[in-house]
Amino acid sequence: MHSVKANGAEIPALGFGTFRMPGEDVLRIVPHALDIGFRHIDTAQIYGNEAEVGSAIAQSSVARDDIFLTTKVWVDKFRHDDFIASVDESLKKLKTDYVDLLLLHWPKLEVPLAEQIGALNEVHKAGKVRHIGISNYNTALMDEAVSLSDAPIVTNQIEIHPYIDQSKVIEAARKTGMSITAYYAMADGKVFDDAVLQDLGSKYGKSVAQIVLRWIVQQDGLIALSKTVGEKRALENFDIFDFEISADDMKAIAALAQKDGRIVSPDGLAPVWDN
């Protein structure tokens, strides 16, 4: 696996996500994912499984320092004191004294962004987090966050799959040295029925999931989060570093993007998205 370097961070290009994953599944599949080679684990306060992620990492055969661990602060904890307390609670649940990356989960601006970024910087300076980032930010908010932060912002975690054009956000991130972390890569399962992706899978001798994940990590500065509760699928998702998609085929996948391709845009949380 290769890593993505971004503003001082070195982030494994393929992560293992735990969104909507019950605790019992986390305890079973995360140690397996680490055994087969995953070194980047992604969770969040709102997922309700930080404690199980921490137990799974502690029970695995992989040393904590060899794992890049990400969690995210939920929007109801953005006030300074709530923020600091929530990070301490996350560390306790995760059974660690630091996380490698802490993100603001959504850009909810009832709390001023300066206060949110200030709290991020505070826990970074205290050594509780090694790197800081944002999630679901548009380009204007990315620029504002960068201007407000003393510590470098290393990633913006956003929805990326073949049916959404995120080129504006990706380009903006590159200009600041920031990486992009892709979630919802399988477009809620839509990719599996796509004839173009099926044909590419046949061409390269890979599954549709492998084609999509490879398409993401093959782009400069992009990190892909994969997710599964199945042992065989986890191994399949990890097996994407022994082939390369041609430039023409990369363009063919990007050409699947649609104007209404966005899937995740919750009311009360989502910003005004870039066109």
Tokens standing for 9?
């961070």
Residues tagged active-site: 47
Of the candidates 190, 135, 137, 138, the one whose C-alpha atom is nearest the C-alpha of residue 162 is: 190
Q: How far apart are CA 178 and CA 152, in angstroms?
A: 8
pLDDT in tens, 12-69: 999 999 999 999 999 999 999 999 999 999 999 999 999 999 999 999 999 999 999 9
| pLDDT attached to residue 1 | 77
| CA-only gyration radius of the chain, Å | 18
C-beta separation of 240 from 210 below 8 A? yes
Give residue limits of the domains in the chain. 3-254
Q: With a cut of 90, say whether residue 275 has pLDDT above it.
A: no
pTM, two decimals, is: 0.97
Q: What is the mean pLDDT of residues 174-193?
A: 98
The β-bridge relationship of strands 222-226 and 14-17 is: parallel
Please return the burial class of 72, using the count of CB atoms within 10 Å of its CB with bins 0-12, 13-18 and 19+: buried
DSSP classification of residue 218: T
Q: What average pLDDT does range 239-264 have in this prediction?
A: 97
Q: Quickly tell me which residue has 């684990």 as its tokens.
A: 41
Q: Which CATH number does the domain 3-254 belong to among 3.30.390.50, 3.30.930.10, 3.40.50.10470, 3.20.20.100?
A: 3.20.20.100
Q: Tell me whether strands 14-17 and 99-104 are parallel, antiparallel or unpaired.
A: unpaired
pLDDT at 124 exceeding the cut of 80? yes
Q: Is the pLDDT of residue 270 over 80?
A: yes
Q: Which two tokens stand for residue 161?
A: 């799959």
Q: What is the percent of the chain with per-residue pLDDT over 90, rounded to a whole number?
A: 99
Distance set, CA 27 to CA 6, 13, 59, 70 (Å): 30, 23, 9, 17
Is the alpha carbon torsion for 182, 188, 190, 192 positive or negative? positive
Dihedral, CA of residue 165, residue 132, residue 103 and residue 160, to nearest 10: 20
Cα separation, 122 vs 102, whole angstroms: 12
